[in-house]
Structure 1
Amino acid sequence: MAAFRGNAPWLWALAALTLLRLAAAWWLPPAPDEAYYWVWGRALSLSYYDHPPMVALWTALGSALAGDTALGLRLLGPLGVAAASLLLADAGERLFPGRQAGPWAAALLNATLLFGAGSVLMTPDTPLLVFWCAALWALARLHASQDGRWWLAFGVLAGLALLSKYTAVLLGGGVVLWLLLERQARHWLADWRLWAGGALALLVFSPVILWNARHDWVSFAKQGGRAGATATGSSLRYLGELLGGQAGLVTPIIFLLCAAGTVAACRLWWKRGEGAGAAGLLAAITVPAALLFLWQATGSRVQGNWPAILYPSACLVAAGCLGPRWARWRRPGVALGLGLTLLVLVQAAFAPLPLPRRSDPTLARLGGWAEFAATLDAERAARGAGFIAAEEYGLASELALHLPPTTRVVAIGDRWDLFDLPAPAAGGTGLMVRSERRGGPPLWPGAVEEGGIARSRHGIEAERYRLHRVVTTVAGEGPPLVLLPARR
């Protein structure tokens, strides 16, 4: 690839970073959402209530290769991100030849917490960003070569991105906007390969459509209902949270470079300067999606990971469209980003700073799960209960992943009715664990409270839970009950 001629140090740095991420993936305990996706991988389906199925496929393949371990369910994340970095670097060299834009774009993206530390965790954003970068690479090859066959590759890769997360639709929307606004690209509208690429994207995504059609469109309704949703907080508060959160997750210098690069790309596209076509393509992909998130923040909170899709193209324009005055901030930005990423991973793995839950999100999400599961299993045995139950999907999944295979976990709630998982036999007695942060009465009919238990890391409390004695009922007499898969 064009990006790697004379860039051996960059490749060695990427290899070392990938090894560090694999080590962190092996060491860090899975977060509740990751454990939930592990359950998906053990109950494969065409799609799921929360997201399309790609994260389940990645988790299932990783677990098949490395077992039902933290490394197993995360294995494809660091490897996929390394491949995406190579593709993004090559894309930058083809869009902005002679400017070293590709390696710098990949370096900036890898130095963000969203992409750097986030690649250690297995969430739908991980495969989404990998296929998003791959789709950008196909577009760069198309733009540089004017070979229409790259539309077919882009269609497949965009379809795989859609199979990862619904926000990938913004990639297609940006490309359509570019085709309409860029006069030198409009000739593609008469090329059958463009339309064939669109058909391939739809074909790749079709399992999700089929699953939704069979399940009353519940997933489309859930995710589509978030667009334009309103909440009780003020617009200024949500906008401040969005911008401040992105500056933190992307790291301040890289966030500023991405914003300045996007403005420079729009200006270059407008003035038709050298590289205007490439700048326009990336601006069309970045700006409308950014405006959508800003609009969403005028009415409700935008989760910090949602805008992650902006940064592959934003890093490309930051590396390819900014002049020397801005370029001098690249090295400090990468150094700061990698340093912050290392600090976050060290805190998550070893907790050298005794921070309370409110100041340490790694404690709340990752802290003390193995010890908590062992203590809870001892409580179950002492009380003569046959199983452990939970109504929070992340908690139930964590327990299924950490408890010994002989201790089965029963999950309760409507979402489990969409899984092909067996129901427990009626009349069994179990011990249900429920977070004290969860309001309202227990979902389990007839649950009787019997004390409590805490989860902690190095003596610092992460969460407190109430224990309840429960009895399984006949199917159909209460909320859905399912037996979660056991660890192999």
Structure 2
Amino acid sequence: MIWALLAAVTALRLLVAGVTPLAPDEAYYWVWSRVLQPGYLDHPPMVALFIRAGTLLAGENAFGIRLMGPLTIALASVLLARAADALFPDRRLGIWAALLFNAMPLVGVGGVLMTPDLPLLVLWVAAVWALAMLHASQDGRWWLAFGLFAGLALVSKYTAGLLGIGVVAWLIACRGAWHWWRDWRLWAGGAIAAATFAPVVIWNATHGWASFVKQGGRAGADAGGFTLRYLGELVAGQAGLANPLVFILCITGTAMALMAWARRGDAAAALLAALVVPGAALFTWQATGSRVQGNWPAILYPAACILAAAFITPRLARLRRPAVVLGAVLALAAYVQAALAPVPLPRRLDPTLARLGGWDDFAALVEQERARSGASFVAAEEYGLAAQLALLLPPGTPVVALNPRWDLFDLPRPQSLGPAVTGLLVQSERRDSVPDWPGAEPLARAEGSLLRERRGQEAERYRAFRVTIRPDLPAAAVMPRP
């Protein structure tokens, strides 16, 4: 019954993936999938590999770009259930762990959107499953599987390093795990993880450590010192993204697991807690001085969902069913609003409008303006906007992206379009009004700004400029087309 439900939920997510417009970041990662390389400025390359697999199967469209998301989240749900059952075989809690996992908007909604967090979450769950099988069987060969999954998680996003921190904490703090330090397979697993991640390190070494510097700059506290502002944002954001009831169950389960380890040396409880507590402490510390993005702590929840199923009190266990129902309601509401927009909410109240709304019609409007102005190509400075236009504009219209990040891609330069060729540059009115393109000339339109809207609700306004290919252009590239 439960697996039939999982299949139905997966089918629904696939449907939503196909009918909901792509976000700019998803279009940007699609560009990655057309220029496969061991690293990028923003993240390692796993999301590009996921997208490439999906588009090879289903085409370069929203469904193909997102295809691997719902499928791999379903696999992760099965692995999480098996991990819970392996760690607590006498209690058969796997189904509840999987249900709580899927009841989180982080998974219900995030499992449809193709971002680096999705492959990270899936591979993190696979690593948790390998650790659970290791502990349950005491077969050291599982260290090799763990090393592979941990390495692949690092190839998804650098925050996967918390996985290694958690495992080392468990190996140090739990007496029942000390014997693994003498097993060569532990070290072999570490070597596999390092070898899997090595191409990302080599790419960074040959590109000025660009990605490490960018992401390393996002860690730590701001110069302003201690503040509670961001800490409150973190707690409130996690309560919403994880589902308020699931959030309560996860916190309670983790606290009670720590007590179980302290009182009776429960190695299974210690293992799972070690995959939650160090990361939670790190994000909490960072929130005392700078903003923690809501998606960053998502990796802590797979282990926390097992703890929420295993260590809560009978009274709190009554919250599990309402938590699953609430998660289903929240996910359905997000799906319907993103795909159909039945409620005409303004941008400030509707993130689906801001990120997903009106792109097809906007691309048609841009193409109309390009033809009317006699431009030979379309250009954009925002990488997400350029990627969206590259996906959606009619065949034969070149798209040029202007941004320093494109120097790190093996893509044609604008000069390949020919000297002194004119184009149409589109720029959001939310940005500085002076384009980075030298010599850009504002285009006067009787209709005013180029408007992206959905069912009469304004999502964003854009300016238009006439630009010309010239030898002194800043870093820019000609985007791939479907």
Please state which band the TM-score falls in when normalised by the shorter chain: over 0.9
Following TM superposition, by how much is the alpha carbon of 1:101 offset from its aligned partner in structure 2, in angstroms?
A: 1.7
* Cα distance in structure 2, aligned partners of 1:100 and 1:145: 17
Q: Equivalent of 1:272, from 264, 269, 273? A: 264
Report the secondary structure of 1:411's partner residue.
strand
Does residue 453 in structure 1 map to residue 450 in structure 2?
Answer: yes
Task: Give the counterpart letter for 2:121 in structure 1.
Answer: L
Identity score, percent: 62
Q: Equivalent of 1:419, from 402, 409, 415? A: 409
Greater displacement, 243-252 / 221-230: 221-230
* Cα distance in structure 2, aligned partners of 1:259 and 1:233: 27
Equivalent runs, 1:328-407 vs 2, <5 Å: 328-407=318-397
Q: Equivalent of 2:475, from 464, 480, 484? A: 480
Does residue 326 in structure 1 map to residue 319 in structure 2?
Answer: no
Report the secondary structure of 1:461's partner residue.
strand
Q: Equivalent of 1:470, from 467, 470, 480? A: 467
Deviation per CA, 1:183-209: give whole Å up to 9, x if none. Answer: 110110111000000000001111100
Q: Equivalent of 2:432, from 439, 445, 460? A: 439
Q: Equivalent of 2:49, from 50, 53, 57? A: 57
Unaligned runs of 5+ in 1: 1-8
TM norm structure 1: 0.96
Preserved CA contact (<8 Å) 2:134 2:143? yes
* Cα distance in structure 2, aligned partners of 1:85 and 1:422: 41
Preserved CA contact (<8 Å) 2:221 2:288? no
Does residue 142 in structure 1 map to residue 134 in structure 2?
Answer: yes
Deviation per CA, 1:239-283: give whole Å up to 9, x if none. Answer: 11110011011111010001101101111111116xx11110011
Does residue 177 in structure 1 map to residue 169 in structure 2?
Answer: yes
Q: Give the structure 2 partner of residue 48 of structure 1.
A: 40
Greater displacement, 188-197 / 93-102: 93-102
Task: Give the counterpart letter for 2:437 in structure 1.
Answer: W
Deviation per CA, 1:32-70: give whole Å up to 9, x if none. Answer: 000000000001111111000000011111111111100
Unaligned runs of 5+ in 2: none
* Cα distance in structure 2, aligned partners of 1:422 and 1:439: 27
Q: Equivalent of 1:151, from 143, 157, 165? A: 143
Following TM superposition, by how much is the alpha carbon of 1:236 offset from its aligned partner in structure 2, in angstroms?
A: 1.6
Structure 1 residues 48, 352: CA separation in 2 closer, same or farther (over 3 Å shift)? same
Equivalent runs, 1:97-176 vs 2, <5 Å: 97-176=89-168
Task: Give the counterpart letter for 1:48 in structure 2.
Answer: Y
Q: Equivalent of 1:28, from 3, 20, 43? A: 20
Q: Give the structure 2 partner of residue 4 of structure 1.
A: none
Following TM superposition, by how much is the alpha carbon of 1:229 offset from its aligned partner in structure 2, in angstroms?
A: 3.6
Deviation per CA, 1:83-114: give whole Å up to 9, x if none. Answer: 00000000000111232321111100101000
Deviation per CA, 1:375-404: give whole Å up to 9, x if none. Answer: 110100011000000000000000001111
Greater displacement, 168-177 / 423-432: 423-432
Greater displacement, 341-350 / 319-328: 319-328
Task: Give the counterpart letter for 2:162 in structure 1.
Answer: L
TM norm structure 2: 0.97
* Cα distance in structure 1, aligned partners of 2:298 and 2:241: 9
Structure 1 residues 440, 176: CA separation in 2 closer, same or farther (over 3 Å shift)? farther
Task: Give the counterpart letter for 1:330 in structure 2.
Answer: R
Q: Equivalent of 1:283, from 264, 273, 278? A: 273
Q: Equivalent of 1:308, from 298, 321, 329? A: 298
Q: Give the structure 2 partner of residue 3 of structure 1.
A: none
Task: Give the counterpart letter for 1:433 in structure 2.
Answer: V
Structure 1 residues 463, 234: CA separation in 2 closer, same or farther (over 3 Å shift)? farther
Q: Give the structure 2 partner of residue 430 of structure 1.
A: 423
Greater displacement, 211-220 / 223-232: 223-232
Q: Equivalent of 2:229, from 230, 237, 245? A: 237
Report the secondary structure of 2:282's partner residue.
helix
* Cα distance in structure 1, aligned partners of 2:227 and 2:437: 38
Following TM superposition, by how much is the alpha carbon of 1:231 offset from its aligned partner in structure 2, in angstroms?
A: 6.3
State the Cα RMSD in Å.
1.1
Following TM superposition, by how much is the alpha carbon of 1:440 offset from its aligned partner in structure 2, in angstroms?
A: 5.4
